[in-house]
Structure 1
Amino acid sequence: MSSKPTTPRGPRGLTKLYLLGYNAISFSLWATCTLRGCYLLAINPAEDIPTTFNDIFWPLLTTTQTLAVLEILHSLLGIVRAPVTTTAMQVASRLLLVWGVMFLFHEKGDGAGIVGAPSEVVKVGDYAFLGCLSAWGVTECIRYGFFALQVLGTGVPRWWTWLRYNTFYVLYPLGITSECVLVVKALKPAAELNPLYQWFLIVVLGIYVPGSYILYTHMIAQRKKALRKRAE
């Protein structure tokens, strides 16, 4: 009894080449952000966080994070098997932090925020930005490196798989907590910019708790599914 040949799973042709390029570029950019941050923290005084922020934020971090918008498109078009809702939630929350908080209210060289008032968000002694950079950078280096190796088809090392499906237990709470701290710090300058924007950020904070739970449990479910499949 003859059996039909199995169709190779995963992306092929131009789709494979595109995904390999996208993941490789994203990995390189996040690795640059993370290593650059470590280097600046090593050479700058611990209290001089705005210097580290301004060096990394524009255009490196903004470009790196904004590139993730393509992942929503990937999900919508079916290029990758990722839920559109959870992908959009993750990308939207990051974009809000980068453009709606860090960009609007970060401290400039003269001690004032980008909107003119003294910054209440990223300033001397504020480690929430470093929490975001650490959690985002390490998580994304692991994630994009994992996807690049997966698309390449050479196999993902067991230790990398372990990092992919275990480090989020610590990094995700660190990232979410740091993000919430920055949004809270942005409430006062947001009110000075526009009271409606302050209320928008308050609503965002109200969504963060259930949204974080949904994303966290989704990652736990993905971990169980991936490890079960690897054991088969």
Structure 2
Amino acid sequence: MENQTPRRPTTSTPTQKYLIAYNAVCLGLWSIVTLRALILIPTLATFGKLEGLFEALFPMLKWTQTIALLEVVHAVVGLVRASPITTAMQVASRILVVWVVLEMYPEIVVSTNIYGRQVPGSTTGPIAFSGILTAWGITEIIRYGFFVWKAAVSERVPAALTWLRYNTFFVLYPVGITSECLLMYLALAPAAKQGKSVDLLLKIVLGIYVPGSYILYTHMMTQRRKVLKGKGKSA
């Protein structure tokens, strides 16, 4: 997602304090989700119980991700230097995954294979769920950590944190997008049994994921070039 850093004034303002608090809370929540995932994934996988990851982490993941709806509001009202369109695209895809795909069809994570058949002990759904946990989580820890440092500590962000912010997406975005698409694909079978509305929605979203992902990916590459170009000039 884009820059959630406030339009930095010379003195602290209520807006700046609010955005620092917002980013700090999100950093804390995503840190908890991600660290628990990184501990549980290898542990559960060792015992062949990876499906237990859903029960352990989905409730917190769902609400932690839902808070990001505020970022669309921040962009729309001009609290941050971010495009409302790209912010909404990124937030909407994740909201769809947590509130439609996973909330409505949890069985795809605990007992569904890649062909949409319910098979207890299958690992396809749990692996895809692990994918969004790690890709989303690591991305957000870096992103919110970057924003908190820049807004609350110093405009000069440590080089290592800047490098992580503008380079890890090369790997994390494909992992996250692939996992999201796989979860939506797995949800098609149970959605079709319920009716045509959700099934059609998921098919439409899957159809626009390729161009949408290209837009978001190239947007991050553009942001990366701007930052690296700026650092090159100041070097």
- With normalisation by structure 2, the TM-score equals 0.86
CA shift in 2, pair 1:45/1:152, >3 Å: same
Q: CA separation in 2, counterparts of 1:106 and 1:75? A: 32
Q: Distance in 2 between matches of 1:136 and 1:73?
A: 20
Matched, 1:199 2:200: yes
Offset at 1:20? Answer: 0.8
User: 2:8 matched to which residue of 1?
Assistant: 10
Per mean C-alpha deviation after superposition, the further-off stretch among 124-133 and 67-76 is 124-133
Contact kept, 8 Å, 1:24 with 1:144, in 2: the verdict is: yes
Which deviates further from its counterpart, 187-196 or 137-146?
Answer: 187-196
For 2:191 and 2:158, locate their aligned partners in 1 and report how far apart those are by CA, in whole Å. 46
Over 3 Å counting, the alpha-carbon distance change for 1:164 and 1:196 in structure 2 is: same
Which residue in 2 is equivalent to 1:136?
Answer: 136
- Tell me if the contact between 2:111 and 2:120 (Cα under 8 Å) persists in the aligned partners: no
Partner of 1:150: 150
Distance 1:81-1:87 versus aligned 2 partners, 3 A rule: same
Task: Kindly state the Cα deviation for residue 75 of structure 1 after the two structures are TM-superposed.
Answer: 0.1
Q: CA deviation at 1:196?
A: 2.0
The question of 1:19 aligning with 2:19 is answered: yes
Question: How far off its partner does 1:176 sit?
Answer: 0.5
Output the amino acid matched with 2:212.
G
Going from structure 1 to structure 2, the CA distance change for 1:173 and 1:42 (only over 3 Å counts) comes to: closer
Displacement after TM superposition at 1:48 (Å)? 1.4
Q: Give the Cα–Cα distance (whole angstroms) in 2 for the partners of residues 161 and 216 of structure 1.
A: 18
Distance 1:112 1:122, change over 3 A: closer
Aligned to 1:106: 106
Aligned in 2, Cα 1:223/1:17: closer, same or farther, shift over 3 Å?
same
State yes or no: 1:30 paired with 2:30: yes
1:64 and 2:54 aligned: no
Residue 121 of structure 1 deviates from its aligned partner by 10
Deviations 1:7-63 (A, max 9, x none): xx61541111111111111111111111111222243244312211111011x1011
Which sections of structure 2, spanning at least 5 residues, go unmatched?
A: 1-6
- SS of residue in 2 equivalent to 1:166: coil
Could you tell me which runs of 5 or more consecutive residues in structure 1 were left unpaired when the two chains were aligned: 1-8
Corresponding residue number in structure 1 for 2:179 = 178
TM-score, with structure 1 as normaliser = 0.87
Residue type matched to 2:99 in 1? W
Aligned CA distance change for structure 1 residues 73 and 17 (closer, same or farther; 3 Å) = same
Provide the secondary structure at the position in 1 that maps to 2:8. coil
Question: Equivalent residue for 2:3?
Answer: none
Q: Provide the alpha-carbon RMSD of the alignment.
A: 2.2
CA distance in 2, matches of 1:82, 1:88: 10
In structure 1, the partner of 2:4 is: none
Deviation at residue 123 of structure 1 after TM alignment: 6.4
Give aligned-pair identity as a percent: 48
CA deviations on 1:175-229 (whole Å, 9 max, x unpaired) are: 1011111111110001112222111110100110100000000000011111212
Match of 1:225 in 2: 226
Matches of 1:38 and 1:67, distance apart in 2: 22
Tell me the distance in 2 between the aligned counterparts of 1:193 and 1:75: 36
Number of the residue aligned with 1:162? 163
Deviation at 1:156, TM superposition (A): 1.3
**Partners in 1 of 2:161 and 2:198 — Cα distance?**
41
| 1:133 Cα offset (Å) | 0.8
- Distance in 2 (CA, whole Å) between partners of 1:224 and 1:185 is 36
Number of aligned residues? 217
Alignment partner, residue 3 of structure 1: none
Q: Deviations over 1:99-126 (max 9, x none)?
A: 1101111139xx789xxxx985996412
1:125 aligns with 2:123: yes
